[in-house]
């Protein structure tokens, strides 16, 4: 098999292609979640602090530009961010 192949070489390409952009519309700091509005006009999606990538201690500010990956939350029937981070300069 290909078990020896370093997975890290493959991940950036596939992740980059799947990433979408938008902005953090709302953030509830004491609950650790908020909502992202995608640039493509699709519905706002749930974003949790545990799915945030990037700088761990950075201040989370509404209105900042983000990049994210999403999937449908099968329980709630709504989209959610499975990974999200602030864009540089956003």
Instruction: Decide if 70 contacts 79 (C-beta within 8 A).
Output: yes
Q: Which residues contact 73 (CB under 8 A, 6 or more apart)?
A: 46, 79, 80
CA count, 13 A, side-chain hemisphere, 23: 8
Count CB-CB contacts under 10 A for residue 16. 9
pLDDT in tens, the chain (90 residues): 455 555 444 444 444 456 899 999 999 999 999 999 999 999 999 999 999 998 888 999 999 999 999 999 999 999 999 999 999 865
pLDDT score recorded for residue 14: 43
pLDDT score recorded for residue 56: 84
pLDDT score recorded for residue 13: 44
């Amino acid at each position: 098999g290909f078990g020896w192949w370093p997975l890290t070489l493959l991940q950036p390409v596939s992740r980059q292609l799947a990433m979408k952009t938008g902005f953090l519309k709302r953030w509830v700091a004491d609950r650790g979640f908020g909502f992202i509005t995608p640039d493509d006009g699709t519905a706002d999606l749930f974003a949790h602090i545990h799915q945030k990538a990037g700088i761990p201690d950075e201040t989370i500010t509404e209105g900042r530009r983000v990049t994210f990956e999403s999937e449908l939350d099968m329980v709630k029937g709504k989209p959610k961010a499975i990974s999200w981070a602030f864009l540089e300069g956003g």
